[in-house]
Amino acid sequence: MARHLITSAIPYINGIKHLGNLVGSQLPADLYARYLRGRGHEVLFLCATDEHGTPAELAAAKAGEPVAEYCARMHAVQAEIAQGFRLSFDHFGRSSSPQNHTLTQHFAGQLDAAGLIAEVPERQVYSHADGRFLPDRYVEGTCPNCGYEKARGDQCENCTKQLDPTDLINPRSAISGSTDLEIRETKHLHLRQSAMKDRLLEWIDSKTDWPVLTTSIARKWLLDGEGLQDRGITRDLDWGVPVQKGDQPWPGMEGKVFYVWFDAPIEYIACAKEWTDAAGRPDADWERWWRTDRGASDVRYTQFMGKDNVPFHTLSFPVTIMGSGEDWKLVDYIKSFNYLNYDGGQFSTSQGRGVFMDQALSILPADYWRWWLLSHAPESSDSEFTWENFQTSVNKDLADVLGNFVSRITKFCRSKFGETLPSGGQWDEREGMLLADLATRLAAYESAMDAIEVRKAAQELRAIWVLGNEYLQSAAPWTSFKTDPDRAAMQTRLGLNLIRLYAVLSRPFIPDAAQQMMEALGSDDWSWPSDLEPALRALPPGHAFTVPEVSFRKITDEERADWQTRFAGVRT
């Protein structure tokens, strides 16, 4: 069995994320991790909260909390929501961890020794009232493009134009509101990405199996216009990883921290170092996942992320890894996603438009959302959440197909044979055809999952559920019971074994329902069906079962209309 390292884009700390964020990285990563574990592979699935940078400081100030306390609280909130969606992280870490501080400073020292860091003079806004330089997001003012009066120094939220703080009209400090600002000279460290352009291009061109979305974005950044640019990796902030070379001071960089986009990806590595077991013991052998000179050469590393994160993970983070001159593991495959839009527009945190992760769990269990999001994942293009589509998918796929099958066969067995699997009867041509059809669909399902083709995998899984319903309708044990009870017993027994098969295959998509099905069958046999025939005979005659509660209820038109209104937000 192979070893698989899986990471998903780490969510920013300032608030609860919406469903588009979920399906763009964490949820498909969880699907893949669960599938690989089900096939018997060793998996390390890592994620964390991204806690540094201006937005964290601003969010903490708005909440009236010290930034460290705010980040600790929001990490706990995000971890609880992740658990609510059954995201099976092996560790959910924090970019503010001591481990990440140490590793970030280590990489900076290595890059500097390799000549890949330069000190660059810059002109930056200084606030006399605050006694500090103001990073771009700490400067607000009027957008010169559209006249929006609350534009930030990096971008106008109203017209989306990219800005520099010096572009703003009537600029003011976002901290104090002071307009007593001036432009001063300062200096920052830049990562010399341009020096690695040829090596990066050769590496990306070698990834012939990557999604077109991933490689096209990377190549555009490398080759369009002036090509790959050097990037600032320090900021004038109080909260972050202090700028040092390893454990040594960095002359001239006192009071500065590393830029969030430099330290955040390094948290992927630090996350493995942070992990502890149930007894609180760290993994002394964590480097076997990350160092190719210490056992990671046989690890397959897969990253999941939205398309907006692709440039940093195909260019900036690989520059850090390659430029260090050390034997760190590079990503083998990047699965990138387009955007999930919301009901004719976009999700908007500021306008409260769309469904956010905590709200979703407050109205329906996680499996409902997991199924819809994964079966509509924005892989080849942007996709759109609509309440009508969500209602239809839940009602038809989950309630009418899977839920109906489980309910019909368990209730029939109880009414005719009691709550144990009946004995009698032998398979004939109909069961042989079912077995062949299942084998074809299972092979297609496994192929799609191996290739991380999420929507295709969902389609194949649904088709496997449909085969059970078609078999049940064709065999009609309720009819054959009247003339051939032994045959009806065999058909019923096969139907109950299909439930166990469905539990195993469905677990990556809908883990709670899978657990419910397995518990109703009184089984804990989660073995993957490498051979279908014995898998469909796994539960023998006399094996006890119970009729489960309704796995999935239908969404009513009234509920749909209410939710559509409730989550429409305030349009401006």
Which residues contribute to the annotated binding site for Zn(2+)? 143, 146, 156, 159
Q: What DSSP element (H or E) covers 121? A: strand 117-127
Nearest CA-CA partner of 405 in 489, 501, 539, 540: 501
Question: Annotated binding site, which residues?
Answer: 143, 146, 156, 159, 349
Type of residue numbered 353: R
C-beta of residue 529 within 8 angstroms of C-beta of residue 535 = yes
C-beta of residue 246 within 8 angstroms of C-beta of residue 117 = no
C-beta of residue 358 within 8 angstroms of C-beta of residue 567 = no
CA distances for 59 relative to 125, 407, 570, angstroms: 21, 48, 21
Sign of CA dihedral 239, 245, 247, 249: negative
Q: How far apart are CA 59 and CA 81, in angstroms?
A: 19
Helix (H, G, I), strand (E, B) or coil at 181: strand
CA distances for 178 relative to 169, 170, 181, angstroms: 14, 11, 7
DSSP state of 18: B
27-38 vs 366-375: helix crossing angle, rounded to 10? 100
Nearest CA-CA partner of 398 in 480, 474, 462, 331: 462
Would you state the torsion angle of the CA atoms of residues 238, 240, 246, 248, taken in this order, to the nearest 10 degrees? 10
Helix (H, G, I), strand (E, B) or coil at 122: strand
Nearest CA-CA partner of 85 in 446, 296, 372: 372
C-beta of residue 548 within 8 angstroms of C-beta of residue 406 = yes
- Which residues, 6+ apart, have CB-to-CB distance to 551 below 8 Å? 398, 402, 403, 406, 407, 513, 516, 517
- Which residues, 6+ apart, have CB-to-CB distance to 147 below 8 Å? none
Question: Annotated binding site for ATP, which residues?
Answer: 349
Helix (H, G, I), strand (E, B) or coil at 404: helix
Q: How far apart are CA 108 and CA 111, in angstroms?
A: 5
Q: Read off the tokens for 27.
A: 């949820």
Type of residue numbered 234: T
